[in-house]
Structures are given as C-alpha cells and as structure tokens.
Structure 1
C-alpha cells in the first residue's frame, strides 16, 4: 500500500484529496412515479446540476484540494483487472442490478431473461470510462435492441417500462457508500435496496485498485443486519470516532467496526462515541443536523431540543455486545467531553432564527457544510441566514449555488468523501 492512501483523523484538517461524483445520466432516468422508490425528493434538472457540481469542485481545486472522480477511479480499477476479473466485476453488477419495481413479478421475469444481453452490451462499450458511466446511469431496453415492456395492457394500472437496469441517482452523495476512517475505510451495507448497489464500486476499488487494494477495511459486509452509511461517520479528534445511530446505521455495525479497529495496530482511535439521531423529517444521518467546523465549533439544527442518548465504546478494552456504555446528556456536553473543551454552538438560521427559518434551512441541509480547513467551509448559498451566522462567528464560507443539487437532500459534506487530510495541530 502506498503511504497515506487513506489518512483521515479529523473532520477539519486541511483537505488534501477528496472523492466526488459529477452527476450523470442516472438523474435523467428518475420519473415522478418512482421518486420515493429511488430516494429522490424531486426531479433534478441534470445540466444545471452539473454546472452547480462543477462550481463546487472548482472551489475545492482553487483551494488546493486534489479532486478524484469516482468514475475515473472505478475505470482505473477496471483497467487493472485480468480478463476473468473484468467479467466477474460485470457479472456482479448484472446480478445485483435492479430490474424495475420488485412488486412487478412479470417484469422481473422478462427482464431477468435479458441479463446476458445487458452483460454483452455494457462490456462492448469503449472506452472504459464511458462504460462505467453507463453502469452508474442505468440501461434502457432500447439500448439492447428491445422494446419497452407494457404490463397490464388496456387496464387502469397499465405500466410501461423503458429501463432494463435502474439508475443509481444518489451516487453524487459519495459520503455514504464508504467512509475514510483513520488509515482505513468502512465499506457499507446501505439500508435501502436502491442504494445498496452503489457500494459495488467501492468494494472493487478497495479490493483491486493498485493504490487502494491494501487499505484496511474495518467493516466490509454489504448485506445482512449490520447497516451503516457514511453520513453517520464523524472523526472529531484523532482519538475519537463518532457515529450516529440512525434509521440507516445500527449498533451492530458500530460494534463490528469497533472490533476491527481494535485489531488494527496502526489505527490510532481509542474510543467510539455513538450518538442517537432522533427520527425527524429528513434527518436520516447525523450530518443532516450536526457538523464540526473548527476545533471547538459546531453547527446544529435547533429542531434537536431534548437530551440525547450516547454510547461510549472503549477501544482499549475487549469488545463485546455489552461494551457500549449508555448515558443521556445535552448535545453541547457530549461534544465538550469528546473534544476536551467547552464548545461553541451555532444553530441553523442563527440565534435569532424563527422556527420557519430552522425548518427550511434544515430541510436544505444547512448543517451539511464541508470543512476544508479549520474554520473554512463549503456549502450552498441558499442557506443565507445560517451562512450569515457562520460568518459572524468568524467562519470563512465558500458558497456555491445548489438549487438543483439540494433537491437530492444533501450538501457539500454529503457530496464528498475525504481521502487525505492534514493532521490538526
């Protein structure tokens, strides 16, 4: 393994290398009838979303960050494979492909019979980068020489199916399929079927890519009861890993990570703190209502008003199902204990924000800023009151328009996975 292939021991250390995904044709294949199924809140206008994402990555590059595209990294991995490994990768993609609504048994049977055609079609696409884009975007029946499938013809619930392989429209949220944790990664079993497929790319990158294949994996099972997503994974200090216990991340996964971190002699974490994420609106991850912006500065949603459950896992002791020690505390006290000093807390919408301000700016991920250095953050321009509050607190805010990207329910932190950060001094 090359030195520092993954090196992330903070939320705020100067960002050196980051993984992103520029939105592609996968967003064109989301229809109004399937938004809930595909975990999208609206139909996103692709060309505008691309321009917004380009503005985001330009800010990163202008500030000295090396920006890596997920599709480029996947293409590099694929080109490094043997012919048999290439077939294995594509066969896995076909096997895990989503073939329309699961309730549509007839469509499922018809489309499964087309799997070889799909395999041959995607394998024939050149160059490799173009093929990877198609794997991410989805495949139309017309692209493999087939007509649209019509189910229940002449009935009120008639269904017309144009796709033989569904898109992965949430891919531009690269925070979730895996997370950089210290010197390694956590490869995730994501909760919902439409997102589980996204982790195929990370699985193969961290098993086969020449630069990343030897990176430690602190969790790597992509199915089963242990579920986790990257929006719940935070590194508040070099000693403490914080993980949200949410609708998408459970304690079973956290215990697995604790066990494997303890086994790795090169990983420096001494404690895991698991923080309960209250079920509320679109607060599906810890980073949808709380982010760290500086050594002692946190941004949070005022919709979290009650004391929180918190579990501590001591990584210097044997790990068992009884290892998590439960307590209840206010958010500021939890964070102060972790960072070892009194913390400054900025609420969404600022201290004078009313409930409408809180609700609207929380909805558009006003907490979801990406810190690229201590006190320097990137996020949407649309959360104006929160941005003003940050600037009044001395935070440098690098804002970009995100009117289309924000409809996917995530901001700059969601759209980025740090690979290397400098140490915080």
Structure 2
C-alpha cells in the first residue's frame, strides 16, 4: 500500500515516534511552562517507558521509525542542510553577527549530533567554536542560555504532521514553542530517501510561509474511514486552518466529507483526541462530560475546485454513523463521577491508539476507563506512562501513523 492512512482503527503497519532525548534534560522549572509542559520530567524513566511502548507496538507487528534517525539520515541528503538553514536561521532572528556562525553550525555538525540539537536546542556554548564576528546577542547570553530553544513536544509526533488517506499535511503549529517542529518534519519528508523517492502528496505546510492563523495540529485530525475525517476546532486548530486544509483535500479528491467538532477552548481539550478517540469499527471512547450539545458541522465538496458547503447539525454521532455507513456508533462514556473523569482525562484517559479493530494501547493508570472499555469488548493494552504523560499526551499523541489499513466489514 505504501504511505497511506485509511482509518483510525485498521491494522497499524508503520508509525513514527520520537524517543525522548536531549530536550528532556533541558526542561527546567524556569522554562517548563513556556515549553508547554506541566512539570520537569525524569528523563531516564521517560526513555524507559517509551522503549516499553515501542516494544508493545513491535509485538503487534508495527514497524517503528524513530524521528531522530529519520532526521539524521535526511540531513546528509544533498540540499537538506541548505533547506534547513534557509528556514531556521535569518539575520533578523539572531542578528547579522550570528548569521554566518549558525550557517557553519548547520553545515559542519555531524548529522546525528545536529539531529539532537535541532530537537534538544542550541546553547551559546554550542555556537562558540564557530564565532568569527562580533555579536551583541552572544554578548548578552550566558554560556548555557539557548539560542534555539528545545522542542520537548516532539515526543508527541501526532501533531506536526498528519497523513489523511494518501495526502500529507506538514502542519503549521499554533503555539510558538512548537513551530520549529514543522521545519524538522519538512526536512524529513523532503529529503529522507524513504520519503523523497515515494512521490508524496504533500498538500499543506510544505513551504516557508507564515500560515497563522490558519493552524492545524494532527491531534485534531481523526481519519475515521470511508473517505471521511473528523477535525477538532478549538485551541490549536483554527477555523481558517480547517477551511484551508479542507479546500486542498477536496480539490485533490483525497476525502469526500469533513466533520468539524467545536471544542471547548481549554488546555484539557487542546486537541480532539483528548476528548475522544476511535477504538473499534463502530466505537468511540468519549470524555463522559463532553457537552451533549457540542456544535458540529459537515463540510461537503461543491464542484471540483475545492469549494464546499457547510451544514450545522445537532447530533454529531448520528452524522458520524451515516458517514461511515452504519446504523449507529457506540459512544463509550465511562460511568464515573465528574472529579474522577477530570482526573483520568488529565492523564489522557481518552487518548487511545488502536493497533487493529478493537485493540488499543492506553495508559495503565486510567483504570476505570480501561476496565469500562474491556467490559465493552475492547482489548486495552496497558502502557506505563507516569513520566511520559506529564506533557499531556497519550499513546495516540506519541505516534504518527504513516501506513494503516482501511477497515473491512
């Protein structure tokens, strides 16, 4: 089949993950909030948990690609470093005194080390060996101050790119702390031989333009199957982003319908997959106290230029069932009091990653939700995530499927 994602729950074949690296050791109490984490992680334990998570995927015949390795290989391809340099370093970003030193850093650093720095951040001391000209910015910094901040949210590979059937969006991110993730993914998809020779259909974000406020993040995109996607509209994915992406998808014939779900604009609902994920052919795990009257819209194509019609509807899951050709879908809301539901949702209690229909990976700590799904016939593979979950992302967040089968009856 090649690189294509045809569902949320069909057999998962290939996935990209990022094993926590240098960036977690550079999380501190001073920078943790601006880097969108809630606490300083125990990096070694997080790596152990991630290794176990990868092992669980491989046990189910999923081919796992590490983002660090993909990026390092891509950086050695002809033209990759110039591409990176043009997007990462400008005189206005760092001042003219650092323009040339940073170009030398990008051009001369071994690929494996550079891959670590692009995610882990670049300190003043990293650039010092390349300095030949005066720089006021450098004079103002301490040796361990960042020129380029770390990207700890690369752990959550779901967001910076999204495969939608045979189309790929390299997503313009909403938060400043994550925008450089898009640049790193552009390097991978444009220059790694596995992708560069595959004739990818990259429909959005593969440029150096400023797309804000038309932002899209992959945690808001659910490929539910049958040519349909659900997209969350909230804190991270804007109406402008949804409309831009929808127009491109319709014009290319990649999807036949887009169902938009309006989310509460709160950190606990930062993405659609914090509120609901698909766990079987006909079933969604849904946060129990998600408002029943959630607004939703259906976008359908009009003509072949990408134009579309918009219809608001009052019953989201009736619309989903119709789109999937089902009489109804099972909406699995864990029977739990509001405080318990909030605790489990904060620990990604609805952020399940399906590896096949009715078989999902979820954090073990969400015992009530996991048992409820088990009682409903869903096999939950428990994932240890006491450290991994501190960045507010579960197994679905940590994975970017690049090949997944369609669901058959």
TM-score, normalised relative to structure 2: 0.89
Q: Size of the alignment, in residue pairs? A: 396
Q: Which residue of 1 aligns with 2:361?
A: 378
Aligned counterpart in structure 1 of residue 166 of structure 2, from 183, 190, 208:
183
Q: Aligned-pair distance for 1:316?
A: 5.5
Contact 2:81 2:106 in 1 (8 A): no
Q: Which residue of 1 aligns with 2:134?
A: none
Contact 2:250 2:306 in 1 (8 A): no
Cα distance in 1 between the residues matched to 2:250 and 2:128: 52
1:86 partnered with 2:70: no
Greater CA drift, 25-34 or 408-417: 25-34
Q: Which residue of 2 aligns with 1:142?
A: 125
Name the Cα RMSD after superposition.
2.5
Q: Aligned-pair distance for 1:397?
A: 1.0
Q: After superposition, where does 1:191-270 map in structure 2 within 5 Å?
A: 191-213=174-196, 214-220=199-205, 223-224=210-211, 225-265=213-253, 267=254, 269-270=255-256
Aligned counterpart in structure 2 of residue 337 of structure 1, from 296, 317, 322:
322
- Cα 1:414/1:96, change in 2 over 3 Å: farther
Q: After superposition, where does 1:24-423 map in structure 2 within 5 Å?
A: 24-82=21-79, 85-95=80-90, 113-126=97-110, 128-145=111-128, 162-213=145-196, 214-220=199-205, 223-224=210-211, 225-265=213-253, 267=254, 269-315=255-301, 317-318=303-304, 323-339=308-324, 340-347=326-333, 350-351=334-335, 353-423=336-406
- Cα 1:69/1:276, change in 2 over 3 Å: same
Cα distance in 2 between the residues matched to 1:327 and 1:319: 22
Greater CA drift, 18-27 or 32-41: 32-41
Cα distance in 2 between the residues matched to 1:151 and 1:256: 41
Q: Aligned-pair distance for 1:284?
A: 0.7
Cα distance in 1 between the residues matched to 2:91 and 2:360: 37
**Which residues of structure 2 form unaligned runs of 5+?**
132-136
**Which residues of structure 1 form unaligned runs of 5+?**
100-107, 153-158
- Cα 1:195/1:130, change in 2 over 3 Å: same
Cα distance in 2 between the residues matched to 1:379 and 1:169: 21
Q: Aligned-pair distance for 1:91?
A: 4.2
Q: Aligned-pair distance for 1:304?
A: 0.9
